[in-house]
Amino acid sequence: MSYLLTTLTTKQEVDSIIRSTIDKVLVLRFGRASDSVCLLLDDVLAKSARDVSKFATVALVDIDSDDVQVYVKYFDITLIPSTIFFFNAHHMKMDSGTADHSKWVGAFRAKQDFVDVVEAIFRGAMKGKLIVSCPLPPERIPKYQLYYKDV
Amino acid sequence: MQKVEDALEKGSDMSNHGLVLEDDPEYQLIVDCNALSVDIENELVIIHNFIRDKYRPKFPELESLVHHPIDYARVVQKIGNEMDVTLVDLEGLLPSAVIMVVSVTASTTSGKPLPEDVLEKIVDACDRALALDSAKKKVLDFVESRMGFIAPNLSAIVGSTVAAKLMGTAGGLAALAKMPACNVQLLGAKRKNLAGFSTATSQYRIGYVEQTEIFQSTPPALKMRAGRLLAAKSTLAARVDSTRGDPSGNTGKAFREEIRKKIEKWQEPPPAKQPKPLPVPDSEPKKKRGGRRLRKMKERYAITDMRKLANRMQFGIPEESSLGDGLGEGYGMLGQAGSGKLRVSMGQSKLAAKVAKKFKEKNYGSTGGATSGLTSSLAFTPVQGIELSNPQAHAHQLGSGTQSTYFSETGTFSKIKRI
């Protein structure tokens, strides 16, 4: 868990932060402090938070708290960690060659990957798009399997 | 000169009294002492010239090896009429390197021994010079001891010895105050040593200021700046003193503090660099450059006239194509009847001109100078570029559809691809 990034526990906090970041990409990480992949992701986020600060805000959401279960259900978060991007209160989707475009599942390999992704989202959002394609090559994208009703 | 020396002795006796700051007779004496030291210097120069001229028949090279008049006088005194300089012990008079050079030059000198009377005159002159030198020293010592009363601010910054020397060389406090700071910096600077030593380590043109305590204690990298700073502040202090503006010397002390603080600040490490956050993407518009160079670059990739014609089509007239019958690349207006040419020559495209030049150079280089005068340069040019075409012949060609273009006499290929 990093001490530089704000952690959100209540629904109200999440609401307010989504509404208050204007003209900046909002990166919300849904995860647990005890998970190792989550820690990796947190590390990358913390290190690049300052570099990206001019066009993005980074925040962490703890999925173990009861208040935010609404969001967990809404975004259908099953795999930890999941990162969701917002821009001006719009949910931004990204096509990274995986099944789920609405979130980013897993950690980033390097700081630069994260910065590239945020930049792509920013550029797309400034142009008015709601979905952007991922600038990373497929080997740098974490792969996962989605189960549908345990199949 | 004798009279002032006596007054000087009296003055140094009087110095033990606790005198009030503004002591006019004392001050006048100091001013006289300064004038006296300047006079002594002038006298010394005259005597030095005299000795030099007289000694030249004996040892001409010595004057260029030993510059300082007092050292010269001492050396002349020691050598006397001696022909073999190695017998003379010059230790303590000169640095050992110079002694070596002197003895070497003496062995090859073109001088002759002097007659007795000339030698006597020279010895007398040397004695006079040395006496004058010691008198000057005494005067300077006296001035130094009284420096606290004469120029308290100046001596607060640079110390009394250096202040006395500066005043002595300048010719009085008023003269020192009138000098610009750059001159004050160079007061007392030794002339460059030309004895064949390398000038790579020659010192940085700084005079008596070098002997001040502040200068000695600065690290070598900052010595130049410190020297300049010292000279500037001491000039200001001298000006204050010459008008007796601050008899207590506080201004001088303030300057000294300022100098010390500045030197400390120079030695501070630079502030650590903070990594900057990345700029917002697309916030800074790209700088588009213009100018002749860019235009020439763009010309290489610009659309050529040929391509322009091929892109357009005439209304109602089907265009020709490379594979015939509408297959393959269309030719548009290129080679249409009425234009008179099947192949539009490129004219002088800028890129082709460059390529032609390169080709020409290469081929001329390879054939050397053994070409006969009858060969023409047209044979070496590449495919497009210079073409001499008979416009009538082409017009006929288009009209007669029976003429085969496969083995044509006039035209060559109908479709040219750039390699």
Q: What is the pLDDT of residue A57?
A: 93
Strands A104-105 and A82-87: antiparallel
Q: Tell me which residue has tokens 């390999």.
A: A109
**Tens-place pLDDT, residues A100-130:** 899 999 889 999 999 999 999 999 999 999 9
Contact B277 A54 (CB under 8 A): yes
pLDDT profile of chain B (419 residues), mean per 10: 58 50 62 77 87 85 83 84 77 83 82 84 88 85 78 88 82 86 86 60 75 88 91 93 86 93 91 87 85 91 86 86 82 69 54 76 63 53 53 48 55 67
Residues of A at the B interface, defined by Cβ within 8 angstroms: 50-55, 115, 119, 122-123, 126
Residues of B at the A interface, defined by Cβ within 8 angstroms: 275, 277-282
Contact B282 A123 (CB under 8 A): yes
Contact B281 A115 (CB under 8 A): no
Q: How confident is the model at residue A133 (pLDDT cuts 50, 70, 90)?
A: very high
Chain A, nearest residue to B278 by Cα: A51
Beta bridge partners of B363: none
Contact A119 B281 (CB under 8 A): yes
Closest by alpha carbon to B214, among B191, B193, B240, B237? B237
Selected for mutation to probe chain A from B273, B280, B282, B284 (highest A CB count within 10 Å) is B280
Cβ neighbours of A50 in B, within 8 Å: 275, 277
State the pTM of this model.
0.49
Cβ neighbours of A52 in B, within 8 Å: 277-278
Cβ neighbours of B280 in A, within 8 Å: 54-55, 122
CA distance B271 to chain A (A): 20
Cβ neighbours of A51 in B, within 8 Å: 275, 277-278
Q: What is the pLDDT of residue B34?
A: 74
CA distance B261 to chain A (A): 37
Contact B162, B209 (CB under 8 A): yes
Among A50, A55, A115, the residue with its CB nearest the CB of B280 is A55
Contacts of B279 (CB under 8 A, 6+ apart): A54
CA distance A53 to chain B (A): 6
ipTM of the complex: 0.78
Closest by alpha carbon to B355, among B300, B410, B314, B295? B300
The predicted model gives A139-143 an average pLDDT of: 86
Q: Tell me which residue has tokens 């916030």.
A: B283
Residue B299 buriedness (CB in 10 A; 0-12 / 13-18 / 19+): exposed
CA distance B301 to chain A (A): 30
In angstroms, how far is CA A133 from the centroid of its own chain? 15
Contact B346, B304 (CB under 8 A): yes
Contacts of B148 (CB under 8 A, 6+ apart): B155, B160, B249
